[in-house]
Amino acid sequence: MSNYESVLSAASQLPVSDRLRLIDDLASLVPDDQPPQLSDTWLSEIDRRSSEIDSGAVTTEDWADIRIRLFTKHGVDSAN
């Protein structure tokens, strides 16, 4: 069994809250100069949404406000 498979197997045994925390921690370790590879479908969607923002067709919200709203909606006190 490879290291990856061992880690994945161990992580799959964690409670969901710990798995989600692990996902966040691992994502924060990915260097900014090595973003994930996105499919053409995702790239098209990103372009579409960016164009809507640039044209003023949609308005944006601060992430802090969105985060608070989502945490409240789902009964979460904090990300930690």
pLDDT tens digits, 14-26: 999 999 999 999 9
**Backbone phi, psi, residue 32, to 5°:** -60, -30
Q: How confident is the model over 24-71, as pLDDT tens digits?
A: 999 999 998 998 899 999 999 999 999 999 999 999 999 999 999 999
pTM for the complete prediction? Answer: 0.49
Contact 53, 60 (CB under 8 A): yes
Would you tell me the crossing angle of helices 16-28 and 3-12 to the nearest 10 degrees? 140
Cβ partners under 8 Å of residue 53, min gap 6: 60
